[in-house]
Structure 1
């Protein structure tokens, strides 16, 4: 059975040493007490201890970074982008399982937040399974916050007896909420909704624009969902009978498949005990073969910027890391291969002559581009025709910006 640690001051030194790489749950599943305890590991100030962080909505990673812990991430989403000295590994989200397996991303210790054990002695991963499940087989130790407020979700789970150490808590989980859509987002959402067909399987990102798009889909029927993240907007469409997954191929017919949840306390409470929303590993949600088997896909993602050739920049703006490559390329390519809709959305003002940062998604992987001025398919267009289409969507002369 696992060792029981003090929830107010957990001592992780028996399982974590200064040279280790630690992997921590992200979004609403952040085990904040365990992450904060990394600052007390002997020798932490030497810079040898690292923690892999995902999308964060707390300041815990900033605090451990100030103590000398190296914070590594796949991007700068949420508050992660504000962590001092953040080190970013540019990679497709689908590559994370292989990077952990090969030791390219060290995962000596995994920190989880889980639900209390059920009658069979198993703890669910709550609102985040994803790359944690893929990192577990390669970890020397697994330490969990067993939180009475953590929803018991369907899908990934771990035996309580297989945990090396635990803290027992009853606290509110971290939450995040998208901003309220404005006129631009609402206009984009209406154009996107016209591209989505009844019965399509959705994949969307997170943020104000994706939430606006979800609201615009209220008149559709029998949509499915297979992706990396669900939000309050997804839950609303499930409740309205719009997302039913009824036309998905088996074995996922009737199931909303996701890796994590990001939203309000209402979303987290609604997940508890549900069996129609399933949380799975990144190796399942982002694998090309698994995406292709999810039905006719409509993948809808936002870009920070798009250049006049159609390349997307999703990582940085103004010299700051505020985004990530993420799974956008994974899903765009899968949608195109399966005859689905591959859509990139952004306000017209963010179509530019040159990107502020690196290219995150190549122009060859981008089909539909949608702004408040309309929607255009770039597939099959020559460079000059692409520029003409993007100039139309930008509503201005992009050459004048060069």
Structure 2
């Protein structure tokens, strides 16, 4: 295994790949050896590594762009510092040294005949960060597929490597429930043939994709892709034939799904690009048919969206929501926000947000719940509130109406 003490100094800043591309063996070496190395700063994205969140040494000051996956547990304990930023801002933050960038851990494919390694399923912020990171340490995984679209990493770029042969982590698989299926049907009714869609991963996005099987010639430009995207490509639903750029290709930064998805990637028309491309305002502005589909924790009666915190704890992120919502609303086709109307006994459509504003009301065209679709584009504040109350949970509508009369709604206006 790698002797990190030979490459990492006290006070260094370390970042590593996220989700299915997370270089877990290297992260675990850091957990085991940081007491001898000394205090370090670290940055990671969405992680499923339970050891990271249960055995995080005091010598590691961890930061992230959100409280995603296992990081929710650290957020509750105050052990992760969240940097609130748009996903499109990460490349610049690495370039300016505002995020840890002395050492980078990456998981890559075996080198090809020219000695070049693919970043595989985890290009996203990694490809941008590499350019500004002097020390790169690699996990060369025999099962990491070679993907296309991003620059490859020459073997001589690595200060050290460890070779593995392990399956990539698969995304947690949860079947959509009745509420999510109802939301998905409503969302699918807003998607038109030849649109270019962006959406995340999880049970609700998967349900949305399942409802798009009768559509034609859809395109995809998204931060992540899942098994559902691959299925629609294979069925001929997603062709990308009418995309203004990258015609015929699915463009993404990462893949999160099953082993079947990972092994099938080399045979699919999917290009993996850095965040500086996938989330670039200039690039997104070229997609006139862009439809963004993003999830929220809460929405207020003016249409402001909260997707980061619940009861004072980070459980989400700004991520790419604003990047895509703004582009879809201004230069694309439609910006869609989805959420459950209620959680337990509380309405998720509120007079005032409990947490910070993630996406401004001017970037939201539609809010979709299991009870219907609230079209907000072109509506004044009074009409917005009326339409949002109409898609709230029925048992909470009277209280929301009352908040309008009491003047409690719209404090954020």
Give the equivalent residue in structure 2 for 1:218. Answer: 213
In 1, Cα distance between the equivalents of 2:351 and 2:29?
Answer: 46
CA contact (8 A) 2:306 2:359 kept: yes
1:114 corresponds to? 108
Counterparts of 1:233-312 in structure 2, within 5 Å, are 233-250=228-245, 252-271=246-265, 273-274=266-267, 276-312=269-305
Provide TM-score, normalisation by structure 1.
0.93
C-alpha contact (below 8 Å) 2:9/2:37 kept by paired residues:
no
CA distance 1:35–1:64, change in 2 (3 Å): farther
The match for 2:24 is 32
2:330 is equivalent to residue 332 of structure 1: no
- The equivalent residue for 1:66 is 57
Give, in angstroms, the shift of residue 236 of structure 1.
1.2
Q: Which residue of 1 aligns with 2:45?
A: 54
Q: What residue is the counterpart of 1:198 in the other structure?
A: 193
Q: Which runs of 5+ in 2 are unaligned?
A: 343-347, 409-413
Question: By how many angstroms is 1:40 displaced?
Answer: 3.8
Provide the residue aligned with 1:22 in structure 2. Answer: 14
- Name the residue aligned to 2:411: none
Matched, 1:315 2:313: no
TM-score (norm 2): 0.91
Structure 2 residue aligned with 1:3: none
Divergent runs of 4+, >6 A:
none
Quote the offset at 1:177 in angstroms: 2.8
Query: 1:393: which partner in 2?
Result: 391
User: How many Å separate the matches in 2 of 1:117 and 1:144?
Assistant: 11
- Say if 2:321 is the partner of 1:341: no
Contact 1:17 1:41 in 2 (8 A): no
Picking from 369, 372, 384, the partner of 2:370 is: 372
Matched, 1:103 2:88: no
Counterparts of 1:221 and 1:178, CA distance in 2: 27
1:135 lines up with 2:113 in the alignment: no
Deviations 1:287-323 (A, max 9, x none): 0111122451011111011112211111111232110
State the Cα deviation string for residues 260-282 of structure 1 (Å, max 9, x = none).
111111111111x2361111100
Number of corresponding residues: 391
Distance 1:387 1:207 in 2: 29
User: RMSD between aligned alpha carbons?
Assistant: 1.7
Matched ranges for 1:164-203 at <5 A: 164-203=159-198
Where do 5+ consecutive residues of structure 1 fail to align? 1-5
